[in-house]
């Protein structure tokens, strides 16, 4: 899944992503811990991995989009 960074705190590495379906999903430092992500900017496109569904949908990984 892909989305757009809607907010990001560079001190806590937490933020939120707006999915292409219009759902804003928050993420914590754990979602970027094992990725090369060290900084994100609002409006940046990212790739997401999620778990759960519906109201229990959570972001498990935020990473850069590397393929075109």
pLDDT recorded at residue 54:
86
**Beta strand spans in 1-68 (E):** 2-9, 14-19, 24-27, 45-51, 58-64
- Structure tokens of 23? 């759902």
Instruction: Using CA atoms of 42, 46, 49, 51 in order, give the dihedral in degrees to the nearest 10.
Output: 30
CATH architecture of structural domain 2-64 = Beta Barrel (2.40)
pLDDT of residue 68 exceeding 70: no
Q: Phi and psi at residue 38, in whole multiples of 5°?
A: -125, -15
Average pLDDT score over the chain: 92
pLDDT recorded at residue 67:
67
Residue 38: pLDDT band (50, 70, 90) is confident
């Amino acid at each position: 899944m892909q989305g757009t960074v809607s907010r990001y705190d560079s001190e806590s590495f937490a933020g939120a992503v707006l999915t292409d379906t219009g759902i804003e999903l928050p993420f914590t430092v754990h979602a970027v811990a094992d990725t090369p992500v060290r900084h994100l900017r609002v409006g940046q496109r990212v790739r997401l991995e999620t778990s759960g569904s519906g109201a229990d949908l959570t972001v498990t990984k935020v990473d850069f989009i590397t393929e075109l």
